[in-house]
Structure 1
């Protein structure tokens, strides 16, 4: 029996429950291809799953909601052997084992073939992060010159959204709770940097008295009340993240907490159609390869240091994307 190295979570807990060990290497089936994982981006949702907060996840489990690599055993349909592919979501790393391994057995229908000259680490920083940012900006639907606030902009999705929004000609304000990270936001094109000291709506209103045309809120939960208050009448809030660690807004009353004319939307990368996502990701990868903007790769860790990588991300030390290399 062939084996592979994988980071396995046997029970919910702190980063140390991620244990790298030898496990059986799977083989392709009629509808699932075996992908050699070359890089796997880390995501906040994986912290929540590791902690036991994701519903319907059974342990033991190999986490990882995204990866890039190459097909080494093809399914009956889908990309042939040797194809460079990316995979995101579709219950990857939750209902079935994900990208924290040397190989991953993945639904062929969800694989996104890619053709681009990027190193694996850089390519691994793109799929979930940039597709979420791309989809969120699409939901917001802002036109060039309109005012956008990206809340938690030094997160991986926030940095990706910053690059895409600046490229789209939006007037972007980016927030961070850490003044030491402000320079990175300015470097990547934020016209305004707001240090979130607890008065998010007030800071936005001091910049734009009428409020923002759109807010991309990556904190979620109770923080959405502040996002509503920062948004102009006719504007829109898109919630695409849960960095605050809370799934709900306690005692939420729309008539009391949402200003007249402000809209609330969400974007979830699980809703992406693989064929559409593949086209978007191919374009993003080409733009990164051409130097139009950065992949915002902050740091890489070897698979054997996955627990350290989770602790690093959980401590909010990154400005951009953390990637694990099997």
Structure 2
């Protein structure tokens, strides 16, 4: 599925392309599934100046090694890959085959269905990394507010935090999605009506802000003094015009961020294997909203752009 130029979902066009030829340091992966992400939507809209078109989008995928240039990744190995300029500097996961750098490939052993496995890499590694960036210690308790709770990362973070024994509040813009959060262990579901989502009088200890630009300043006011806000999503956009750190970050309060590129390849492989194990054991949920065929990715982008999803959208070619 080729993004021929920036624009609306109709710029995604199904094309027959040659299967990429392998080269040193890169292996050919037969794509069995790929998660959809907001960053792909924004690239399609033209908000990624470094990306040239036409381009096969897709910052993550799972599949099997079809042709290998790495003895440690024999043909037939199940792998996941994400980030590292996938779908941006080179063609990504919206395809039947992807030529990917060996350094991005994370080998896995699992019996999970391809659509379930495809829902995990970017989503759960981002959720894990964000909770780590917040300084959350498993079993230590604390109050966590997730802004953008019914995004795929928000639901994954709620699942993990519930297992850590935390008190959790989460926001959603649509009341009909509240039950999905409650089922994950969220105690306080707040419908986002544009006001500050206050739950605890003293404020949450941690805020995971997946909405981003529109809410980060309010999150800094909302978190308890000395608490931490982590921005790890861009549901409302990437930029924060007029941000004044000294004026807008209360004294003693910490503002950090998490970018999943830090867990690509070998850095994220062990974490992803733990996530897969927890899903196989029924501890974590894949939180899949819909599964699309490759030829239906334009419709998938419309669905994502309309904010209709509760959880992860997945493509299986």
Structure 1 length-normalised TM: 0.95
CA contact (8 A) 1:40 1:124 kept: yes
Displacement of 1:77: 4.8
Mapping for residues 181-220 of structure 1, pairs under 5 Å: 181-200=177-196, 203-204=197-198, 207-220=199-212
Mapping for residues 1-326 of structure 1, pairs under 5 Å: 7-143=1-137, 144-200=140-196, 203-204=197-198, 207-245=199-237, 247-326=238-317
Displacement of 1:273: 4.8
Displacement of 1:112: 0.2
Displacement of 1:222: 3.3
Displacement of 1:55: 2.5
In structure 1, C-alpha distance between the alignment counterparts of 2:69 and 2:8, rounded to whole Å: 36
In structure 2, C-alpha distance between the alignment counterparts of 1:259 and 1:199, rounded to whole Å: 19
CA contact (8 A) 2:275 2:284 kept: no
In structure 2, C-alpha distance between the alignment counterparts of 1:284 and 1:94, rounded to whole Å: 26
CA contact (8 A) 2:83 2:264 kept: no
How many residue pairs match? The answer is 315
In structure 2, C-alpha distance between the alignment counterparts of 1:183 and 1:298, rounded to whole Å: 14
In structure 2, C-alpha distance between the alignment counterparts of 1:35 and 1:229, rounded to whole Å: 46
CA contact (8 A) 1:222 1:248 kept: no
* Worse-superposed segment, 143-152 or 304-313: 143-152
Q: Which consecutive residues of structure 2, in runs of 5 or more, have no partner in the other structure?
A: none
Displacement of 1:134: 0.5
CA RMSD of aligned residues (A): 1.0
SS of alignment partner, residue 224 of structure 2: strand
SS of alignment partner, residue 136 of structure 2: coil
Q: Which consecutive residues of structure 1, in runs of 5 or more, have no partner in the other structure?
A: 1-6
In structure 1, C-alpha distance between the alignment counterparts of 2:230 and 2:72, rounded to whole Å: 33
In structure 1, C-alpha distance between the alignment counterparts of 2:220 and 2:96, rounded to whole Å: 43
* 1:101-138 Cα distance to aligned partner (Å, 9 max, x none): 00000001110001112000000000000000000001
Displacement of 1:289: 0.9
Structure 2 length-normalised TM: 0.97
CA contact (8 A) 1:78 1:109 kept: no
